[in-house]
Amino acid sequence: MMPFDYLRAGNEAEALQAAADRPGARFIAGGTNLLDLMKLGVERPPHLIDIGGLDMRAVTKAPDGGLRIGALVTNAELAAHPLVRERYPLLSQALLAGASGQLRNKATTAGNLLQRTRCYYFYDPASPCNKREPGTGCAAIGGVNRIMAILGTSAHCIATHPSDMAVAMRALDAQVETRRQDGQVELRTLDELYRLPGETPHIEHTLAMGELITAVVLPPPPKGRQRYRKVRDRASYAFALVSVAATLAVEDGRIAQAAMAFGGVAPMPWRDRAAEALLIDQPPSQALFDRVAEAVTSEAQGHGGNDFKITLLRRTLAACLMDLTGNAQ
Ligand code: SF4
């Protein structure tokens, strides 16, 4: 482990100033991913700024009927919050499908969004990995790639984003609120927060150095029913091979509103609005859902060991949509 210095920030302004004064500094709160990466030598920040004591632990109703979730609300607190369980059950289901009880007690909302891939080679400093060491190659392409992505990949990286929570948030049109040292406050959709790997898989998001996530803002809950369905190798404490977060509203026998996001299949929580549009104004049916599932995977590409994910994603999506119409499979 590389030496680093540590500062416990007393408030937001102090945290932002400390980050501005210390190039390469990283914020830390729950530490459930960053500390592991530091122990392995994958991450080597010279400075850690502990923001765990900041006042960002509130979940409050927004004036428009949405929800504002403080960046330091833990995954356990958020999953159990009455407003989340009642109005965004999809989010609660996704959170409870992730990690373990112990980890959910420590992991925070902002940290969950920014956790890094679980690609085996990324965690092994002896393997070539463009994300860890740009320009060294990608051991997963042509290697063991059962857990890797089938959508949004590049010739430089095929890793997935590991979060369940972020998949639910993408389906719910969440926005991430950030603050910079100059006082600038910004809102980004998750689409705007994450970057696809392209030629620079080591750059995973659009946050500037020292920019701090302060909250996640959810719009009012969507109409209709919500569901998070996760397929994994064992029933708990496993990352998604494929997951689907979906909302569906049926009015007068036709689908009036729909949103879908996918986990375990892409470098960011994946959304396909063209496929969503295929659902609108249609009567729900197995045939329709199969057609939509085909559309979602029309550009999917396997890498040998993960070819099965294409079929798995289709079937999981169709089953989740059937479930939302009251015809569980
Ligand atoms: Fe590294 Fe990405 Fe290749 Fe995994 S898939 S070895 S994270 S470059």
For the stretch 133-152, pLDDT in tens is: 999 999 999 999 999 999 99
User: What's residue 156's pLDDT?
Assistant: 98
Average pLDDT over residues 54-77: 97
* % the chain with pLDDT above 70: 99
- Please provide the average confidence, as pLDDT, over all residues in the chain: 97
CA angle centred on 140, ends 138 and 144, rounded to 5°: 160
Query: Atom 1, ligand 1: which residue's CA is nearest?
Result: 129
Q: How far is the C-alpha of 189 from the C-alpha of 275, rounded, in Å?
A: 19
Average pLDDT over residues 168-188: 98
Cβ-contact 15, 208 below 8 angstroms: no
Cα of 305 to ligand 1 centre, how many Å?
15
User: What's residue 326's pLDDT?
Assistant: 84
Query: Atom 2, ligand 1: which residue's CA is nearest?
Result: 157
Average pLDDT over residues 125-136: 97
Q: How far is the C-alpha of 282 from the C-alpha of 310, rounded, in Å?
A: 24
Query: Atom 7, ligand 1: which residue's CA is nearest?
Result: 122
The model's confidence at residue 34, banded by pLDDT at 50, 70 and 90, is very high
Cα of 260 to ligand 1 centre, how many Å?
26
Which of 123, 131, 147, 151 to mutate for ligand 1's pocket (most ligand atoms within 8 Å of CB)? 131
With a cut of 60, say whether residue 329 has pLDDT above it. Answer: no
Average pLDDT over residues 315-329: 89
With a cut of 70, say whether residue 259 has pLDDT above it. Answer: yes
* % the chain with pLDDT above 90: 98
The model's confidence at residue 328, banded by pLDDT at 50, 70 and 90, is low
The model's confidence at residue 127, banded by pLDDT at 50, 70 and 90, is very high
Structure tokens belonging to residue 4: 């680093």
Cα of 159 to ligand 1 centre, how many Å?
5
Alpha-carbon torsion, ordered 165, 170, 52, 75, to 10 deg: -20
Cα of 128 to ligand 1 centre, how many Å?
8
Buried b (16+ CB within 10 A) or exposed e, 251-287: eeeebeebbbbbbbbbbbbbbbeebbebbeebebeee
Which of 37, 115, 117, 133 to mutate for ligand 1's pocket (most ligand atoms within 8 Å of CB)? 117
Report residues whose beta carbon is within 6 angstroms of any ligand 1 atom.
Answer: 117, 119, 121-122, 129-131, 138-140, 148, 157-159, 201
Cα of 257 to ligand 1 centre, how many Å?
36
